[in-house]
Amino acid sequence: MDRTQALAALSALANETRLDLIRLLVPAGPDGLPAGEIARGLGLSASRLSFHLAAMEGAGLIRSRRASRHVIYAACPGALGALMAYLLRDCCQAHPEVQARCLHPGDGGGD
């Protein structure tokens, strides 16, 4: 992942609805969820959901596919992992304390 891709992904994730969208799609795995089910799960209108899905897909964090009349969306775990790796390796320079907090997020916190 390069800087431009990381910035696009971070920008897309910097939204409460889009974080909720990732939280919904990651457990669904590669099968994903139909747009209607996502809208119901997040309590969004179709047009509002479409706006958020487009932002996430544009950033490469989710993908879509057609299944008859439905559009199915799934998280892209590789892209999410690449973003985390970029932050750890390139931004944090693999700092040991940062890495330790990633492995054990409940240990300490905001010092």
Structure tokens at 37: 């089910």
Mean pLDDT calculated for residue range 2-17: 94
Structure tokens at 68: 């008859």
Question: Has residue 110 got a pLDDT over 60?
Answer: no
- Collect contacts of 42-46 with beta carbons under 8 A, ≥24 apart: 42/17, 44/17
pLDDT digits (tens, 9 = 90+) for 40-62: 999 999 999 999 999 999 999 99
Check if CATH label 1.10.8.50 holds for domain 3-76. no
Distance CA 4, CA 81 (A): 16
Query: What residue type is 16 in one-letter code?
Result: E
The secondary structure of residue 87, as a DSSP letter, is I
Every domain of the chain and the residues it spans: 3-76
Distance CA 1, CA 11 (A): 15
Question: Has residue 7 got a pLDDT over 80?
Answer: yes
- Tell how strand 62-67 and strand 33-34 pair up: unpaired
Between residues 104 and 69, which one has the greater pLDDT?
69
Q: Residue 59: phi, psi to the nearest 5?
A: -85, -5
pTM attached to this predicted model: 0.83
